[in-house]
Structure 1
Amino acid sequence: MSQPSSSPQFRALAYLAVFLLGGGVAWVAKDTLTSSPPVAQTNTAESNSGAIVSTANTETPPDPTPTPPETAAPLTPTNFVTDVVNRVGPAVVRIDAERTVTSPQGLTPFEDPFFRQFFGVPQMPQERVQRGSGSGFVLNADGHIVTNAHVVEGADTVTVTLKDGRSFDGRVIGSDPITDVAVVKIDADNLPTLKFADSDNLQPGEWAIAIGNPLGLDNTVTTGIISATGRSSSEIGVPDKRVEFIQTDAAINPGNSGGPLLNQNGEAIGMNTAIIQNAQGLGFAIPANTVSRIAEELIATGRVRHPYLGIQMVTLTPEIKNNLNRNPNSGLTVEEDEGILIVRVMANSPAAEAGLRAGDVLLSIDGKTVTTADEVQQAVADVDVGQTLRLELKRNGETLTLEVRTGALNDAQR
């Protein structure tokens, strides 16, 4: 007889038991893994008196006193540019100016008040408020700020905004259109300031950092190098200025005017002022030495006196010589191929009083040869009002020496 355990029925029951047992083990395991964390258990122990004492393994309750947040450590500058910006950036300001401008009177019939009453043409406003913004930087802790003269020219109101968000009403205490430098005063103290570097020692290739508010984008930083020094005002299209500009490829846009151009040490080497339309990589700044000198005079007296001779001149070349000699209306006959041709002498000017004439060719000033009109302008700008200059010139083939005492350009323009 076969054993009961080997019957098919017995084997089926055994398999079923194993299956159920395995399922139960799996279910118990799953329940154990997914159940909630156990609560604190209570252990019992006998005291010396034989009583049962309960001890709970509970965690220490949290301290209700809030922990103060940790103070973020100051950011470490990653290069010399961020170091400069962090140190001197607060001394750069935004300047907003408002001025009232008068619209030109039109000449069309409908702008005549007589016709307006019949045709219902509205009265056109003759005045409107013009708003503009630029940049500047703090000269001293007492609230003197330097900017471009064209930023505040004709302004009725001036508002100065610091990097920390504070705003002040500004007062223009002096403006010099000839160098495009102006000084604004605000009622504040303990302001961050900028130091000036000696701009006479600048060399092409040195680092340049510009900070300002171009296109209304406050606290914008751009970098580049000094591309050139000694650019004349006529070279960059502003012949009415008396400045030898610094050229840089640091991006300068409208709104940067009046902001500082800095070196790698965070010192002001110039004041950003001019751009050439449709040019890329060309910006210009007034040298720091000029800005400092003009600002000091504006703070002291409210104006700047510029020496002048009272002549109009052009650098002589063979082409200019031939054009003048062929033109019967020029009124000039030129024999020299080089030098500075005096085209016109202003009436009642220092040059007129000294005996200079149109057609004279200027060769040297105080013994120093001059070869361009820009050199003559700079030689005059380097002396004081009332100082005498010795001019060597050619007239009708003869060499003459005349002495001219410089006058004040500001007085002549009144």
Structure 2
Amino acid sequence: MRLLYSYRVSPVPSSGVSKEASAAAGDESKPHDCFGKDTIANAAAKVGPAVVNIAIPQDFFGITSGKSIGSGTIINKDGTILTAAHVVVDFLGTRGSSKGKIEVTLQDGRTFEGKVINADLHSDVAILKINSETPLPEAKFGSSSRLRPGDWVIAMGCPLSLQNTVTAGIVSCVDRKSSDLGFSGMPREYLQTDCAINMGNSGGPLVNMDGEIIGVNIMKVAAADGLSFSVPIDSVCKILEHFKKSGRVIRPWLGLKMLDLNEMIIAQLKKQDPSFPNVNKGILVPMVTPRSPGERAGFFPGDVVIEFDGRPVERLKEVIEVLGDKVGVPIKVLVKRAGDKLVTLTVIPEEANLDV
């Protein structure tokens, strides 16, 4: 789906702490360090007016039978709404013309017809649009990179058709891998929380104590309590930038499996194979996909990436950041091999063909 439209992507703001306060209390200091009886309520009140309920009539052989419920957040006063792609998956490509209408209800009770603007099933992020004669309430983006396990967060939305519901909990893990959850394909990371998330919360915001969106709630473990997952807002911002720039998300593919190294892993690998490269950090390539850009570039299993596109790298996140949407662009990679041999390779990424 390639659509032309415009909307504003809010920049990821700073924590809001003054320079003086930061100098006195350190970078981790936040205005809500003093947790009071109104802290959660005040944070929820900031975002609440922008949280919407999304209802889609379910038709079976022309007969309407109930509604599929989801949630979302208005991120621009013009009616741009952030939600989960799986909430509106039936409307992708149909523009809402053949399966009824998307009904969007605000906290104040007003109802609008929504239109799917863009969506990415792989990341489970979508954009809707409603039209209003007056400016609408909007929520602000925070930063998910500043989160720590144990930070308080709020989940808002419409679980089980119960509108304007607020639940609270803590961040359980800031970088839960998709592979940990049994998902195949390209790697993704989620925020794990113990907030109560149920059917209907999908697409709703995960909020910090400053009243900022720091994630989009998308799923829970059905057979457990307190195992809920959200797409980090920093990842969402990158998706939205792709939407604006290309109308879709462009993901470069190298055909390399890559793993972060640390001193403990390196010591273990050297014990198993004394010829393992002498490195203190880097990114291990344990597998190279046949006939992939990585194989054509000359990568071998066991290579350790130490520079990518001229930039020293220590973590896979840094490689992904450098890659961006570079498809068909030659990239120089410096790797270290057994025997401490340094080799410079040139890899040309291809666009990933995702089966989602």
Per the TM alignment, residue 284 of structure 1 is displaced from its structure 2 partner at its CA by 1.6
Instruction: Answer yes or no: is the 8 Å Cα contact 1:137–1:260 preserved in 2.
Output: yes
CA distance in 1, matches of 2:154, 2:54: 20
> 1:79 maps to what in 2?
38
Instruction: Answer yes or no: is the 8 Å Cα contact 1:350–1:407 preserved in 2.
Output: yes
Q: 1:398/1:87 Cα in 2 relative to 1: closer, same or farther (>3 Å)?
A: closer
SS class of match (1:88): helix
CA distance in 2, matches of 1:275, 1:378: 28
CA distance in 1, matches of 2:342, 2:238: 37
Instruction: Answer yes or no: is the 8 Å Cα contact 2:257–2:285 preserved in 1.
Output: no
Instruction: Report Cα offsets for 1:233-292 as digits up to 9, x if no partner.
Output: 212333446432222112122211111111111111111122123222221211112212
Q: 1:208/1:193 Cα in 2 relative to 1: closer, same or farther (>3 Å)?
A: same
1:163 and 2:107 correspond: yes
1:250 and 2:195 correspond: yes
Instruction: Answer yes or no: is the 8 Å Cα contact 2:334–2:342 preserved in 1.
Output: no
- Of residues 134, 138, 141, the one that matches 2:77 is 141
Instruction: Answer yes or no: is the 8 Å Cα contact 1:178–1:240 preserved in 2.
Output: no
> 1:150 maps to what in 2?
86
Q: Which runs of 5+ in 2 are unaligned?
A: 1-35, 92-98, 270-274, 278-282
Instruction: Report Cα offsets for 1:276-310 as digits up to 9, x if no partner.
Output: 23222221211112212312432454311112213
Amino acid at match of 2:75: L
Q: 1:185/1:351 Cα in 2 relative to 1: closer, same or farther (>3 Å)?
A: same
> 1:363 maps to what in 2?
304
SS class of match (1:281): coil
CA distance in 2, matches of 1:343, 1:405: 14
1:402 and 2:349 correspond: no
CA distance in 1, matches of 2:116, 2:225: 33
- Tell me the number of residue pairs that the alignment of Structure 1 and Structure 2 aligns: 294
Per the TM alignment, residue 183 of structure 1 is displaced from its structure 2 partner at its CA by 0.5
- What does 1:31-50 correspond to in 2, within 5 Å? none
Instruction: Answer yes or no: is the 8 Å Cα contact 2:306–2:336 preserved in 1.
Output: no
> 1:390 maps to what in 2?
333
- Of residues 213, 219, 224, the one that matches 1:279 is 224
> 2:49 maps to what in 1?
90
1:294 and 2:239 correspond: yes
> 1:182 maps to what in 2?
126
> 2:165 maps to what in 1?
220
What's the TM-score once normalised by structure 2's chain length? 0.70
Instruction: Answer yes or no: is the 8 Å Cα contact 2:333–2:344 preserved in 1.
Output: yes
SS class of match (1:139): strand
Range moving further from structure 2, 376-385 or 304-313: 376-385
> 1:56 maps to what in 2?
none
> 2:249 maps to what in 1?
304
SS class of match (1:83): helix
Q: 1:361/1:263 Cα in 2 relative to 1: closer, same or farther (>3 Å)?
A: same
Instruction: Report Cα offsets for 1:64-93 as digits up to 9, x if no partner.
Output: xxxxxxxxxxxxx96122222333211001
Q: Which has the larger radius of gyration?
A: 1
Q: 1:275/1:246 Cα in 2 relative to 1: closer, same or farther (>3 Å)?
A: same
Instruction: Answer yes or no: is the 8 Å Cα contact 2:289–2:295 preserved in 1.
Output: no
CA distance in 2, matches of 1:83, 1:256: 20
SS class of match (2:236): helix
1:379 and 2:324 correspond: no
Instruction: Answer yes or no: is the 8 Å Cα contact 1:211–1:260 preserved in 2.
Output: yes
Q: Which runs of 5+ in 1 are unaligned?
A: 1-76, 102-124, 322-334
Q: 1:162/1:352 Cα in 2 relative to 1: closer, same or farther (>3 Å)?
A: same
Per the TM alignment, residue 210 of structure 1 is displaced from its structure 2 partner at its CA by 0.9
Instruction: Answer yes or no: is the 8 Å Cα contact 1:93–1:137 preserved in 2.
Output: yes
Amino acid at match of 2:152: W
Q: 1:163/1:405 Cα in 2 relative to 1: closer, same or farther (>3 Å)?
A: same
- What does 1:56-75 correspond to in 2, within 5 Å? none
What's the TM-score once normalised by structure 1's chain length? 0.61
